[in-house]
Chains A and B, each alone.
Chain A
Amino acid sequence: MANTKEVRKQIASIKSTQKITSAMEMVAASKIKKTQNEMQLGRPYSEKIKEVISHIANSSSEYSHPFYEHRETKRACFLVVSSDKGLCGGLNINLFKQVISKSAELNAQGIESNFALIGLKAASFFKSVGGDVVANVQKLGDKPDPDALIGLTKTVLDLHRNGEIDQVYLCGNGFVNTMTQEPKVEQLIPLPAEEKDELTATHWDYIYEPEAQDLLEGLMTRYIESLIYHAVIENSACEQAAKMLAMKNATENAGDLIKELELLYNNVRQAAITQELSEIVGGAAAV
């Protein structure tokens, strides 16, 4: 049987771990508010740009954009949004599983996949799994900067423009509430066709200044960028929520372990005393 000193050491080590996990839980809890707030602040822009895009789709525009064009698919690109840090439960791995299964599904149809990755965790995962990675952005921090995503977006859109990829999927965690996050794989390009409202769809069109093509090109790029940025922000809110939950569980588990070990400690101590006593009694009887 273990001796008391060993058990005491174990208890002390678990207690210090518990302190760390509970501190991390509190940090995550305070960050959730900030990231959620940022999600709220970013929403008006995504809503407005979506409105503008749907207006354009409803107008009888002289120019149709390649992002709406369905072409024969040979290659798809997965844009995977992950966190930079671990210790957030199954958040990242659940998403990666979904990405891999979608990629396998496409592979069965003869469609190859490549990946554009945001976040350290995705980078290390796809490095170990193997996969054709075309772009990578890491260490965005708690307050992701939209500028940091421009390069990655451009790489992906350029590949699409050159015909090297035909579909783009945006993969990230969706924030349902603090307890639930949902991994999502959504088609980004080709954009799902906007429903034309037959009643209001009269034959009008914008005046474009300067050229329609340049303007729509820019606007579409901004739209895609805003969707990606929103996914990053949402994922970072998910990360904090998942981290809080994981750390809460860890703290509770540490508490349970400590209870069990304390019981064991008392048992061991009692057994030692009993043994000593019986030895003394046995010794006295022998004399």
Chain B
Amino acid sequence: MSTIKVSIVSSSEEIYSGEGTMVFATGSLGEIGIAPGHTPLLTGLAPGPVRVQNGDDEKTFFCSGGFIEIQPDLVTFLSDRAERAESMDEAEATKAQELAEKNMLDKESELDYTKAAAQLAEAAARIKTIQKLRKNK
């Protein structure tokens, strides 16, 4: 079976590097599936899960915003922050979401609205990843 070279990196570390037969991710314009031989594509990466399938084996990672570069034989995820989905803690994620929601409601707060909205989107994406992971189990 043909495979595509997958690398997921964040600014502070390398998350994953290996082969995959199929990769699913959330691009800035919607979900995309990447199979080997994909046409060259450059797009934004929205916060959300990235699934790497290699045969029957599937790994899930969480990526916050960034970029995806796709070449026919390789796909690179440049994420500002990425982590293995297994290591994510739902309680932490929920806490982050609550904080972000509170910041959004709190108009007195000096935190600007766009930053809070971004935080909220990220926290929501994190929770989505965890829940998806639970369902698969």
Flag if A219 contacts B67 (CB, 8 Å): yes
From B32, which residue of chain A is reached at the shortest CB distance? A209
Any chain A CB within 8 A of the CB of B39?
A: yes
For A42, the chain B residues whose CB sits under 8 A away are 11-13
In the complex, B20 has a CB within 8 A of chain A: no
Return A59 CB to nearest CB of chain B, in Å: 7
Question: Contact between B13 and A44 (Cβ–Cβ < 8 Å)?
Answer: yes
**Interface contact tally, CB-CB below 8 A:** 75
A68 at the interface (CB under 8 A from B): no
Cβ contact within 8 Å between B78 and A52: yes
* B62-91, CB < 8 A from A: 66-67, 69, 71, 76, 78, 80
Chain A residues whose CB sits within 8 angstroms of the CB of B42 once the complex forms: 52, 56, 206-209, 212, 215, 219
- Whether B28 contacts A52 by the Cβ 8 Å rule is no
SS class of chain A's interface: helix, strand, loop or mixed?
helix
Task: Check if B9 sits within 8 Å of A146, measured CB to CB.
Answer: no
CB-CB under 8 A from B78, the residues of chain A are: 45, 48-49, 52, 219, 222
> What is the distance, in angstroms, from A278's C-beta to the closest C-beta of chain B?
75
Residue of B nearest to A233 (CB): B12
For chain A, the count of residues having a C-beta within 8 Å of the partner chain is 27
* Chain B residues whose CB sits within 8 angstroms of the CB of A49 once the complex forms: 78
Q: Contact: A210 with B11, CB < 8 Å?
A: no
Q: Are A52 and B41 in contact (CB under 8 A)?
A: no
A55 interface contact, C-beta 8 A: yes
A38-B12, A210-B29, A210-B44 known, 14 other contacts, Cβ within 8 Å: A42-B12, A44-B13, A44-B14, A45-B13, A52-B76, A56-B42, A59-B40, A206-B41, A207-B40, A207-B41, A210-B28, A210-B43, A218-B44, A229-B11
Q: List 16 A-B contacts (CB under 8 A).
A: A41-B13, A44-B7, A45-B78, A48-B7, A48-B9, A52-B78, A146-B11, A146-B12, A206-B42, A209-B42, A209-B44, A210-B29, A215-B43, A218-B44, A222-B66, A222-B67
